[in-house]
Amino acid sequence: MNKFTRYYFLGIGGIGMSALARYYRIKGFQVAGYDRTETPLTKDLQVENIAVSFSQNIDQIPLDFRDVKKTLVIVTPAIPEDHPQLIYFRENNFTILKRAELLGNITRQSKGICIAGTHGKTTTSTIAAHLLYQSQVSCNAFLGGISNNYKTNLLLSNESNLVVIEADEYDRSFHQLSPYMAVITSADPDHLDIYETPDAFRQSFEHFTSLIKTGGVLIMRKGIDIVPRLQKGVKLYTYSMDEGGDFHAENIRTLKGEIHFDFVTPNDRINDVRLGVPARINVENSVAAMALAWLNGVSTEELRAGISSFSGIYRRFNVVYKSEKVVYMDDYAHHPSELKASISSIRNLYPNRKITGIFQPHLYTRTRDFAPAFAEALSQLDELILLDIYPARELPIEGVSSEIILNDVKLENKILCSTENLLSLLKNRELDVLVTFGAGDIDKMVPKIKSLLKELGKS
């Protein structure tokens, strides 16, 4: 790896890819890349002197990056096999790595703290990074979301050899990692376009546990249906929100709109911890993150201060707008289990208020595989506005549309709507608590919805 001085990222605007691009730019390497569309994240990269193009044409590859001996190409699974730039790099024998392979190299050169799970991994890894970074222990981190505390998805430290990494199960990416410590937050089946069966998905997580380095640690959510395959000397701990385990919470309560709990470890207890983000869903994520920090030597007072000062992640249970009439929240939830947990937390935060959800399904395969579960989760709302499926990397599948979810939603107030017509629809709605959900491009609508609510509030 040391022979390369230039790094070219295909899919540079992705949350994981952009963190790596920033890392190598800060380390003094030349960095450039391609992405399909311009976003606030790609604009930030350009401000940081990283060249980003939005055309697939090979002429857009900077001349400096056409040196096969000096340029390493990193590709995300979202890039199609027939992408002209990818074809160019292959035909000219460039070294090409997947994002996960590059992260794997980093974990082999450091102490990787890798957080895996169908859901909860981004929040858990970001909390863990914050707890470590603000303590005397410190850390580096490649995050799967933009931390509200640091306004970035990359944390660097010259004082620490720890690196926090979100371990992505898609395309078996997390099999490239060599964790020193690992967390598994959940293993609910997903990505069946890759794994085909729930059993294969579960086995993939079991293989991930076998990659933890000798003398390392696995912290696993109590009750997950996987059997760890640990190397000799790897310690296993369990955790939960309030169901016991080596690490768990007790005495969870809400005081003046803030959530407090007691954090219990195998031989210690920290009473009256205040959660900086007032969502019950984050108690469990905090327990896992605090367990990691505690095992790495973060002190009691640093844990207490860190959890209290954690201010969340962009698009994870964010309150976007709040007035006397309406609360508008935005959440990345795109799996049935995530939706169920998020809606439950919103209901707990705003009891006796009408909750209107706008959901954009992500991927045709996920919609096909989990339509009944999506419908069950969305039926917890009071009102549903369902958008068209965001295809991402996929082509349409015959007979698969948002309607197969809508048909099973047990609500009187439910409607299909296109993204183009969403603002017009909202203008005529009586809104109380409004939430946007999804992992597609629904985030582009967030500032527009916020502006609309401000205007409606003036009238």
pLDDT, tens digit, 9 for 90 and up, residues 139-182? 999 998 889 999 999 999 989 999 999 998 888 889 999 999 99
In the predicted structure, residue 352 carries a pLDDT above the cut 70: yes
Could you read off the pLDDT of 91-142 as tens digits, one per residue? Answer: 999 999 999 899 999 999 999 999 999 888 999 999 999 999 999 999 999 9
Examine residue 325 and state whether it is found in any structural domain, yes or no.
yes
- The answer to whether the CB of 398 falls within 8 A of the CB of 389 is no
Q: Are residues 89 and 223 in the same domain?
A: no
Report if residue 377 sits inside a domain.
yes
- What's the CATH number where 385 sits? 3.90.190.20
CB neighbourhood size of 350 (10 A) = 15
Residue 278 pLDDT > 80, yes or no? no
Query: Which is nearest to 354 in space by CA: 432, 457, 453, 436?
Result: 432
Structural domain range at position 28? 6-98
The separation between CA 357 and the C-alpha centre of its own chain, rounded to angstroms, equals 20
Does 26 fall in a domain?
yes
DSSP 132-172: HHTSSS--EEEEEEEETTTTEEEE--SS--EEEEEE--GGG
Are 152 and 188 members of one domain? yes
pTM for this predicted structure:
0.80
Question: Mapping DSSP to helix (H, G, I), strand (E, B) and coil, where does residue 273 land?
Answer: strand
Task: Please check whether residue 1 lies inside any domain of the structure.
Answer: no
Q: Pick the last residue of a domain from 98, 128, 153.
A: 98
Instruction: Please say if the pLDDT value at position 459 is more than 60.
Output: no
* 90 and 69 within one domain: yes
- Residue 280: per-residue pLDDT: 82
Residue 36 and residue 130 share a domain: no
Residue 104 lies in a domain: no
Answer yes or no: do 287 and 174 share one domain.
yes
Q: Are residues 381 and 452 in the same domain?
A: yes
Nearest partner of 310 among 339, 278, 333, judged by Cα: 278
Instruction: Assess whether 283 and 348 both reside in one domain.
Output: no
- Domain end, chosen from 98, 122, 146, is at 98
238 & 214 share domain: yes
Q: Report yes or no on 47 lying in a domain.
A: yes
79 and 140 share one domain = no
Q: Is residue 103 part of a domain?
A: no
- pLDDT digits over 177-188, tens only? 999 999 999 998
Q: Are residues 142 and 290 in the same domain?
A: yes
Which residue stretches of 210-355 are H helix?
Answer: 281-295, 300-309, 336-349
Q: Check whether residue 301 and residue 338 sit in a common domain.
A: no
Structure-block tokens of residue 291: 């367990």
Q: Of 309, 334, 356, which residue sits at a domain end?
A: 309
Candidates 135, 129, 160, 133; CA nearest to 302 is 135
Give tens-digit pLDDT for 42-97: 999 999 999 999 999 999 999 999 999 999 999 998 898 999 999 999 999 999 99
Cβ within 8 Å of residue 113, ≥6 positions away: 128, 139, 162, 163, 164, 165, 179, 180, 181, 182, 183, 292, 296
